[in-house]
A = this chain, B = another copy of it.
Amino acid sequence: MSTINHQVRLAARPVGDPRPTDWEHVEETVGEPGDGEFLVQVLCLSIDPAMRGWMNAGRSYIRPVEIGEVMRAGAVGRVIASRHSGFAVGDHVSGSFGVQEYCLSGGRSVTKVDPAAAPLPTYLGALGMSGLTAYFGLIDIGRPEPGQTVVVSGAAGAVGSVVGQIAKILGCRVIGIAGGEAKCRLVVDEFGFDAAIDYKSEDVRKALRDQAPSGVDVYFDNVGGDVLDAVLPRLARGARVIVCGAVSQYNSASPQGPANYLSLLVNRATMTGMVVFDYADRYAEGTARLATWRAEGRLKSLEDVVSGGVAEFPDTLMRPFRGENHGKLVLKIAD
């Protein structure tokens, strides 16, 4: 067997928006799996704003992708050759396979998924890392109580849409912040939030005064920037702010700090950063609950699937920064 593997590797560290020259498109021949290895044909790539951070040098919550390295990406695929006792040809698997068509794996951090139970892209979204991020961030750090008000930004996105739905399941009043009328409709009509605020056409701070008159008990922030600053003054006493991401800031050379952070003092509130990887030993718990809610029809998943080769990756990555995706953005590179 001699298979050509198209890969996208990091060629340079971007300044601001990543440019085409920051990527290198490489063809390699795939080797046979060694003892204890298996070969995955990658089918769907998870496209996440967080990837932008992985391209930067310097200490972060995960090591940077090195120059010349295949770009890191969560993915689902199918085992097409195996010398590993735990993974057989035909198994569908989820793991960090990278932006490439084939990946040799030793099985570390790889889980099997069942394509009969849910479409493969869902295992990157509501039943994957996005869903787990929503689950642990909201429940463990947000600690919402029934009747409390939960606000989430990036509400039409992969994480935000799940945060809001879990908060509804837990008996909270849920307000989503999203960009544009279509996303706001989606948030209310499809995901069942109580209300949505369009940050592009509304004054978020004023809208929250109407929609959350007794204040925001939990704010799950995916965007940072002006939206974070608009929510902070509306925090309720003892509020919990989850810093999950800052899609508005990742491409900025001089990130914007939350000028209204002293609202934490006024309201005895807490702002806490979360990284889903810290919950690895509880993924099974999270996945099981998310799958149950999905099976019960209480958790809807929405994937925005773009089809194309790995060569489409650089452009697809920019979509969330342009606010273009609805739900989980997935690049499908093979059937």
Contacts and interface: CB of A to CB of B under 8 A. Distances in A.
A59 B266 contact: yes
Interface string A266-306: 11111111110010000000000000000000000000000
Contact of A273 (B59, B244, B264, B272): B264
A268 B274 contact: yes
A61 B272 contact: no
Question: Nearest 3 A-B pairs (CB), nearest first?
Answer: A257-B257, A265-B273, A264-B273
A59, A243, A245, A269: which has the most chain B beta carbons within 10 Å?
A243
A271 B274 contact: no
Contacts of A261: 243, 257-258, 261, 271
Which of the four size classes fits the interface of chain A?
Answer: 20 to 34
A145 interface: no
Interface string A54-82: 00000111000000000000000000000
Interface string A230-253: 000000000000011110010000
Contact of A270 (B61, B262, B271): B271
Given A243-B262, A256-B257, A259-B257, A273 B268 contact: yes
Contacts of A61: 265-268
Nearest to A261: B257
Contacts of A201: none
A271 B278 contact: no
Interface in A58-116: 59-61
Interface of A: 59-61, 224, 229, 243-246, 249, 254-275, 278
Contacts of A275: 265, 268
Given A257-B260, A268-B278, A271-B272, 11 more contacts: A61-B265, A256-B257, A265-B274, A266-B273, A268-B273, A268-B275, A269-B272, A270-B270, A270-B271, A270-B272, A270-B273
A244 B243 CA distance: 20
A208 to B, nearest CB: 14
Contact of A243 (B229, B254, B265, B274): B265
A272 B240 CA distance: 9
A257, A258, A264, A275: which has the most chain B beta carbons within 10 Å?
A257
Given A254-B259, A258-B261, A60 B268 contact: no
B273 A262 contact: yes
A228 to B, nearest CB: 9
Contacts of A254: 259
B255 A259 contact: yes
Nearest to A271: B271
B246 A262 contact: yes
A260 B243 CA distance: 12
A244, A254, A263, A270: which has the most chain B beta carbons within 10 Å?
A270
